[in-house]
Amino acid sequence: MHRDQDNWTTLGKALTSLYNAGVNIDWTEFHLPFEQALRLVDSPTYAWNNTNYWIQYNGDWNLTKGQALSDPNFTKAITQAVKGFRTTSIHEIRSENYTKTSAQIVTESDMTDPALKDVIEGHTMNNYGVASSFLHADMAFTVAKRILDKGIPNSSNIGINVTEFEYHEPVVKHYNPTEAQTIVVSAEADLEKRQAHVKWYNPAKNLWYCHATISYEDPSSWLSAWSRSSGLVTSRIAALNDLAASGQADKLTTNLAYSLFGKLVNYSDMYRTMKSVILNKDEAVAEVEFPADTSGNWTVPPHFIDGCVSLSGFILNGGTHFDNKKYFYITPSWKSMRFAKPLSPGGKYLAYVRMVPADNNNFVGDVYILQGDEIVGVVEAIVFTQWRRVMLDRIFRPPPLKAASHALDASQVALSLASLGSGATTSKSQSSQQSSFAGDSKIVTGLLTPPSPARSVHEKESKCESPAPKAEASASYVRAKEIIAEELAIDIRVLTDDANIADFGLDSLMSLVISQRLREELKTEIRDSFYLEISTFGDMKTLIG
């Protein structure tokens, strides 16, 4: 105890010192004399009332998103197919919904439908009919026009701009007449922003493989902007004509132009609308004349678009300025496609484009479409990607018949839109990983094809009888190293058995080319990801056998 200090302070300090020194204090015994003095802390009274704060749901749990059926801005979603609507590229509307501010639509098309026979089989690559990016463009224009007609009143003077188009997976037609090959197109529109996001879905591969953004704009503003560029474009066209007249540029007839185009694409007569082409290295101009018949009920006929816009691909695949013996060039995207005036049947047009190199083995150009001296359409920043010709058979092959059972059907696509979100754009990286550009999924993910038991026994007997297979395997290994050295542009002498494959910059894209060449030249099955399964070239010797 201290004379000048409160006893509680003295006692508290003493207990603190003892506790810090490690003494086990019985705190319950210490507080026991004061238990009767304990009481609850006073708190203000809590007031209760009977107000109901529950927000009752008004809707039908569909795409109405909580809007009451009596809402004047709401139009009930159509959950069954829309009867009476059909174009050559869009065969059925599976569902659609319109409000004052938004619209949603899901459509379905069958690539084996007789209506599409001419436009798909008239555009063959690797001897297979291909649904071109311009057929997808007509689908986009058709869906966009449907939204425009149903969702935006007084829309007669509104133009459709197909922007940020990306096409990650080619649709190659199969030839089983009893099996449909369905493509689903879904779109979600923000009518206040005058924009719509469009996506294409392939149920057979369970893959969203293409997407674009639609902008509803004023076509008169396009014409005004293009008029300021028309002088430059027409001067380049005049210069090309002068070069052709002096023999410094090549002037090609229809047959010769499409014969050169046949290095990659074989066109039927309905596509052959370029009447003459003047080609000078990386730029060209074409005189285009469309037939009097559109050969279908189109919004913008794909073979009309192709007749003008494919001039960009002709420079790369049909000319002599770019290497099209070792490579081919296909278009995965464009920035903008818009036509201020329709591409009319029987109309005569000029198409001009200059293709320039860009990043990542890409080439880009702006295609100008003129009627007289007036620019009436522009495809801005159309991109072509360079591919090794060895990949042609890999990319353009028909899909396997009998779609996977886990694939979504068209009706399920409509139900999945909400979970997918309004951002309908599939990322390029994701689509690229899923697309057939990355190779056949069976080969990419499956193991090397095992030999049958009978074949294995026969091979074992052969190996016992003669060492010849071992010598053949050694020759295969040498050839495999030659292929890798050629593709990687390195000296084959550095590819020793203990050399690490990872040290030579072999990536997934290059492995596609190498594995394809190994399959074709060595007649052996090898996975695209073989370089991930081995570490050295000695391991590859075992893999090749």
Among all residues, which ones are annotated catalytic?
123, 306
What contacts 10, CB < 8 A, 6 or more positions away?
1, 2
- Cα dist. 182→112, 116, 332, 409, 481 in Å? 8, 12, 21, 9, 43
- Cα(541)–Cα(476) distance, rounded to whole angstroms? 9
88 and 296 in contact (C-beta within 8 Å)? yes
* 500 DSSP 8-state letter: B
- Give the dihedral of Cα atoms 533, 536, 538, 543; nearest 10 deg: 20
- Cα dist. 463→454, 457, 472 in Å? 14, 10, 12
Tell me the longest C-alpha to C-alpha distance in the chain.
122
311 and 287 in contact (C-beta within 8 Å)? no
Per the listing, tokens 């869906």 go with 143
- Cα(138)–Cα(89) distance, rounded to whole angstroms? 7
Q: How far is CA 63 from the centre of its chain?
A: 26
- Cα(99)–Cα(64) distance, rounded to whole angstroms? 9
What contacts 532, CB < 8 A, 6 or more positions away?
none
- Cα(71)–Cα(75) distance, rounded to whole angstroms? 8
For residues 100-121, one letter each, b for 16 or more C-beta atoms within 10 angstroms of the residue's C-beta and e for the rest, the string is eebbbbbbbbebbeebbebbbe
Instruction: List the one residue out of 231, 159, 331 whose CA is nearest residue 239.
Output: 231
